[in-house]
A and B are shown apart, each in its own frame.
Chain A
Amino acid sequence: MIDRNFLIASLSGVLFLMFPIKAGAQDAQAVARGQYLARAADCVACHTNPADNRAFAGGYALQTPFGKLLTSNITQDIETGIGGWTEAEFSRAVREGIGRQGQHLYPAMPYPSYTKLTDADVHDLWLYMKTITPVKNRVVSNQLPFPFNIRAALIVWNLWNFRSGRYVDDTSKSKAWNRGAYLAEGLEHCNSCHTPKNLLGGDKSSQAYRGASLQGWYAPDITNSHTLGIGSWHKDDLKTYLKTGSVGPYVASGPMGEAIENSTQYLRDGDLEAIATYFSDIKGQEASLPASLPASDPRMHQGKAVYEMACAACHRSDGRGVSTMITGFPANRAILAPVKDSILHTILAGGRGAMTHENPTGAAMPSFSWSLSDEQIAAAATYIRNSWGNNASAVTPEEVKAMRRTLQFRQVGPVPDDWSLSGESKPDLSAHPAMHP
C-alpha cells in the first residue's frame, strides 16, 4: 500500500481553501468536526492534482510499485465526483474499500486504516464533504498494467491484508492511549509508511512501526526502542514535532514534512498528546549497534573533507545544526537508521523542512547531485553516521548510485534565461575595486 506522502516528485504543498460552509446552523459544528477529521486523514493531499490544484478534484498520479493510479474526484460534482452518492455509499468506500458500483478500490486509498473510524466520525466527514464545491473532472483511476489492473485481484489482497472493523478500545489502557491509537491507526494512518510491508504491500503487523523503506525514503522506526526508535525522546517531543515540524535537532522534511504541514499541525493539543501517549507504548526491538568507524579510516578522512566543504556551513562542523531549523546529527536515529534511503535521498535531491504556522521557516537543503560524486556522497554520509559519538554502518558508492537511479531527476537546474551569466564587466574604474560600502 502506497501513501501519497511517499511520492518523490510530489507537489510542494496543497492549498487549503477556505471552504464555504453551506450546511444549516445545526450542522455547522458537525461540519467543522468533519473538516478537522478530513485534515487528520489528509484527504486533500491525495485527492488534489498539483498540476491544477483544484482541491479534492482528484487526478493525482500515485506511483505504486505495481504501477500508476490516479486519485478520484471527491468533490460534490454529480457527474464526475461524489455528488450523487449516498452516505452509505460514502461510508462503504471509506471504510470497506468498495466503490459505488461495488468495485474494489485499490488500497492506495488507506481504507484498511479508515475502517477503524466510528460511525459518528464518518457522518461528520460526510457532512463536511457535502460542502465541497463541485468540480467537473473525470478521472480514470486505474492506470495499472496487467495483472494489477484486475480489480478482482483485490479480493485476494483483502483476504490477506484487510480486516474490516471499527476501532475497539483496549480497556486495559488509558483514555488518552485509546484516543491516540484511534488517531494513529485510523485517521492518520501512520502505519502506511512506518510499518514494514509484506510482498503484497500489506502491513507486517508483528513489526508495527519498526520502520519501512518506500519510494526512495525510509520512514524510520517510531517505536519506543532507544537504539532504533524514538524511545529516548522527551515526553512532549513528539507533540512538538507533529505540531511545529521540528523538535531540537529533528527537522521533518520529505513525506513526513508534508504530513505535518497538511495534517498533524492542525490537530488539537489533546489529540497530539494522545498520539504521543500511544507511541510511547509501542514496543520496539533494541539492537546492538556496530562500532564507530575510526577517524583513521580513509572513508572517514575523505568524508570529513567533503563534510567541511559541502555540509558544515549549515550543519556546523560539530554536526549539531541549528535547533528547530537545520538537522543535527549526533544521536539522530533517523540519520543512523540501518536503511540509508532518507539520508541519500536528501543529499541527492535536497529537502525542505516542514513549514508550519508555528515554525514557518521551511529552511531547505540543496541537492548535491550536481556537485558531489557517488564516492564523495558515500564518504560524507559515512562520516556523518560515525562522528560525534555516532555509530552506524558505512555507506557505499554503489548505494548512492542506486539512489540516483531511483530518483531520476534532472541533474542540472533550470536553464537560466538568456541574459543570465551573460554580462560583461569592464576593468574597474573605481579607486576601490569591488569593495564599495
Chain B
Amino acid sequence: MTRKRPKADVVIVGLGWCGSLAAEELTRAGLDVVAIERGPWVEPAIDFAPGVDTDELRWDTRRSMLLPPAIETTTVRNTRFQKALPIRDWSINEWGYNAGGSGTHWAAMAWRFTPFDFQPYSMTVSRYGAKQLAEGLIVQDWGVTYDELEPYYDRFEKIAGISGKAGVLNGQIMQGGNPFEGSRSSEYPLPPLKTTHLTDLFSEASNALGYHPFMVPAGNTSEAYTNPLGIRMAPCTYCGYCLYYGCGNWSKSSPNACIFPALVQRSNFTVLTDSAVLKATLAPDGKTATGVIFCDKKGDQWEQPADIVIFSAFQMQNVRLLLLSGIGKPYDPAKREGVVGRAYCFQTVSGANLFFQDKKFNHFAGAGALSAQIDDFNGDNFDHSGLGFIGGAGILVVSRGSRPIGNADFLEPNTPRWGAAWKKAYKDAFQNATGIFGQGTSYSHDEAYLDLDPEYTDQYGQPLLRMTFEYNTNDRRSAQFIEDKSVEIGRKMGAKTVIGTNSAASSFTPYNFASDHTIGGAVMGTDPRTSVLNRYQQVWDVHNVFVLGASSFPNNAGYNPTGTIGALALWTARAIIDQYLKNPAPLVKA
C-alpha cells in the first residue's frame, strides 16, 4: 500500500549541494518545497565534532559517512561484451549518505570550468578543424556558456565562502591568480589559504619552468566569513581532516554549514530524511511527472505528489532514477541511439610520485583544497596542433592532510610492504613522499555508457545501474602528455626519485581512487537526439522534471566538479522561478 503525503509545489530528491541551493532559491521565491534525503540528518556538533572527527579508521578507512555498497552500488565492466559484476566494496562510487550529500565529506576544491569546457565542440572545430576529434569520441556543446553561468558561479562562491585569488577580473589579468580562467565579475569572497612547503616548492619549480602557478580556490575559509544568507563560518584550522570527513568547526563549505541554518527556518521547507526515492510517477500521457514514490526506513511506501520534480541525487543515482522512472529514451550502444545513459564519462589522472630526502613536509597539516596548480596544460589553454588529442589537465600538488593508514603503501617502488624494512621506509616516506596530479579533461565515447543491470538488484528489488567504461585513445594520449609534464615539474622540485603515474595506462577499475569525478549519463545539450536535458537542465521530454548534478556534464573538465554543479543548480532554479512558473512548458523548443 502506498500512502500519500500532501502535495508540494516542488519535490527535491537528494539534499546535497544541488538540492540545497535549489531549495534555497525556490523557498525564497515562496514555493512549498519538500526535500527527500536518503541518509540521516547530521549535525556538525554531534556527528563530526572535533572530539570524534579526528578518527581516520572510522571516517576514512571505513568511509562511515558514505553510502555503503550494501545499500546501493553499481555493476561494472570494461566493454559491453563482458558480464558486468557488482562493485562490492568501497570504490570510486563515493556517494553522500546524509543531509548535505557528498557536499559534507568533499575535499572542497571549488572551481569554475573554463569557457572552452562548455563549448568543446564548436571551439575545437573552429581552432583545429573537425579532424582533431577522434572517431567515436563524444564532444558536444552544453547549450550554456561560461558567460551565462558567471553570475551563478559568483553566487555559489559567495554562499560557500570560497578562498582564492582572481586571475582574470573583469577581463584584466591579475597577479597571483590563474591567468587562464574565464573572466570573473568579482574577487573571491576570501583571500587564498596559507601555503605549505609543498605548494611553495611546486610554485617555485613551475614558475622556473615558465608556467603560471596559483593557489586552488578552496571551500576552506581562510578567515571568518558571513555569507549572503547571514550565516557565519569560522576560519579553517588546517586540521587536515577534510576529505571523507565532515567539518567540525564550520570552516569547510557544505550545505550543512552554508545553507541549512537559514533554509531550515523557512516554514515552506520540509526535509524527509532516511527515505529512499524509488522513482518518479508520470501522468498518463507521459509528458509530465506527478511526484515521486519513496520508501521510509521502516520499509513503508509513500507517494509525494508535486508540480515540479527535481532529481538532485548523485550523478549515478540521477541516471538510475531516470531509467527506473521511464523518463527519456535509454541509450542503445549498438544502434548509437537514445540518450539516457549516453555520454557517461570518468576522469583520467596522471602525474608523478615524488620521493624527497630530509624533508619535513608535515603533510598532516593542511586543508581539503589547500593546493597549488598550473593550468598551462588544461582545457584548450595550449596549442594542440599535432598532439592527437584534445583537452589536458590541471596539474597540482595537494596539502590535504594525510594520515597513517591511508598512506601506508605510499612508498618508493620495490619497498617491502611489511616487516622492519616497511617500518623504516614508511617512517621516511611519511615526511618525504608526495605526488603531482594531473586531473584530466576527459571526453566520453560511444562505447562508454550507463544502463540498468539485467541481473543484480538492490534491497527494493530494483535493478542496479550498470557502468560500461574504458579509457579511450584521447584519454590515454592526453594522460601521457600530462604525465610527462608532471615528471618534468617533479624533477625541477628536486625530488630524489620521480615516478610517473597514469591511471589511463591500464584498464579502468573502480578501485583506483585517483579520482572519483564520475560524470554524465543524463547530459544537457542543444539537441534532444544527443542530450537528455536542455540548457536549463530540464528534461526535453518531461518538462516538469529537472535534473541537477554532474550527470548533466557532457564532458569532464580538468577540475573538480562541485563549483560547476552549484552554478548550474542556481541557474536552473532561477530559470524555474523566472520562466517556468509563468509558463510551465519546455523552456527550449526541441
Residues of A within 8 A of B (CB): 18, 310, 312-314, 322-326, 350, 352, 355, 357-368, 370-371, 413, 416, 419-437
Per-residue interface assignment for chain B, residues 311 to 333, with 1 indicating a CB less than 8 Å from any chain A CB and 0 otherwise: 00000000000000000000000
Q: For residue A429, which residues in chain B have a CB less than 8 angstroms away from its CB? A: 509, 511-513
Would B265 and A437 count as touching, CB distance under 8 A? no
Q: For residue B282, which residues in chain A have a CB less than 8 angstroms away from its CB? A: none
The 4 A-B residue pairs whose C-beta atoms are closest, nearest first, are A366-B49, A434-B406, A364-B45, A431-B501
What are 28 A-B residue pairs whose CB atoms fall within 8 Å in the complex? Answer: A314-B249, A322-B232, A350-B45, A360-B231, A361-B231, A361-B250, A362-B261, A363-B234, A363-B250, A365-B45, A371-B52, A425-B61, A426-B89, A427-B409, A430-B503, A430-B514, A431-B503, A432-B410, A432-B513, A432-B514, A433-B407, A433-B408, A433-B409, A434-B402, A434-B513, A436-B349, A437-B371, A437-B398
Interface residue? B34 (CB, 8 A): no
Would B64 and A423 count as touching, CB distance under 8 A? yes
Interface residue? B229 (CB, 8 A): yes
Per-residue interface assignment for chain B, residues 394 to 416, with 1 indicating a CB less than 8 Å from any chain A CB and 0 otherwise: 10101010110011111000000
Per-residue interface assignment for chain B, residues 506 to 520, with 1 indicating a CB less than 8 Å from any chain A CB and 0 otherwise: 000101111110000
Would B265 and A360 count as touching, CB distance under 8 A? yes
Interface residue? B50 (CB, 8 A): yes
Within 8 A of A (CB), among B207-257: 224, 229-232, 234-235, 237, 239, 248-250
Please report the C-alpha to C-alpha distance between residue A332 and residue B528 in the assembled complex, in whole angstroms.
63
Interface residue? B68 (CB, 8 A): yes
Within 8 A of A (CB), among B473-508: 501-503
Partner of B261, one of A310, A360, A365, A427: A360
A432-B353 contact, Cβ under 8 Å, with A310-B51, A423-B62: yes
Interface residue? B262 (CB, 8 A): yes
- 10 other A-B residue contacts (CB within 8 Å) besides A361-B250, A426-B511: A355-B261, A363-B45, A363-B250, A413-B46, A421-B64, A430-B512, A431-B502, A432-B513, A432-B514, A437-B394
- Residue on B nearest A312 in the bound complex, by CB: B237
Partner of A314, one of B64, B234, B351, B400: B234
Please report the C-alpha to C-alpha distance between residue A359 and residue B233 in the assembled complex, in whole angstroms.
12
Would A433 and B224 count as touching, CB distance under 8 A? no
Chain B: minimal CB distance from A165 (Å):
39
Please report the C-alpha to C-alpha distance between residue A314 and residue B89 in the assembled complex, in whole angstroms.
36
Chain B: minimal CB distance from A276 (Å):
22
Please report the C-alpha to C-alpha distance between residue A428 and residue B45 in the assembled complex, in whole angstroms.
31
Please report the C-alpha to C-alpha distance between residue A370 and residue B513 in the assembled complex, in whole angstroms.
34
Please report the C-alpha to C-alpha distance between residue A315 and residue B577 in the assembled complex, in whole angstroms.
41
Within 8 A of A (CB), among B135-187: none
Interface residue? B437 (CB, 8 A): yes
- Residue on B nearest A12 in the bound complex, by CB: B43
Residues of B within 8 A of A (CB): 43-46, 49-52, 58, 60-64, 68, 70-71, 89-90, 107, 109, 224, 229-232, 234-235, 237, 239, 248-250, 261-262, 265, 267, 349, 351, 353, 371, 394, 396, 398, 400, 402-403, 406-410, 435, 437, 439, 501-503, 509, 511-516, 560
Please report the C-alpha to C-alpha distance between residue A368 and residue B44 in the assembled complex, in whole angstroms.
14
Chain A: minimal CB distance from B23 (Å):
15
A313-B230 contact, Cβ under 8 Å, with A350-B45, A437-B437: no
Chain B: minimal CB distance from A244 (Å):
9
Partner of A433, one of B44, B64, B109, B406: B406
- Residue on B nearest A321 in the bound complex, by CB: B234
A422-B62 contact, Cβ under 8 Å, with A428-B409, A437-B560: yes
- Residue on B nearest A244 in the bound complex, by CB: B230
- Counting chain B CB atoms within 10 Å of each CB, the highest count among A361, A368, A422 belongs to A361
Partner of B235, one of A322, A421, A431: A322
Q: For residue A426, which residues in chain B have a CB less than 8 angstroms away from its CB? A: 89, 511
Would A423 and B261 count as touching, CB distance under 8 A? no
Q: For residue A322, which residues in chain B have a CB less than 8 angstroms away from its CB? A: 224, 232, 234-235
Would B90 and A423 count as touching, CB distance under 8 A? yes
Please report the C-alpha to C-alpha distance between residue A419 and residue B248 in the assembled complex, in whole angstroms.
22
Would A424 and B231 count as touching, CB distance under 8 A? no
Q: For residue B70, which residues in chain A have a CB less than 8 angstroms away from its CB? A: 419
Would B51 and A423 count as touching, CB distance under 8 A? no
Please report the C-alpha to C-alpha distance between residue A434 and residue B371 in the assembled complex, in whole angstroms.
15
A357-B224 contact, Cβ under 8 Å, with A416-B64, A423-B64, A437-B439: no
A313-B237 contact, Cβ under 8 Å, with A364-B43, A430-B512: yes
Please report the C-alpha to C-alpha distance between residue A217 and residue B267 in the assembled complex, in whole angstroms.
31
Partner of A366, one of B45, B58, B234, B262: B45
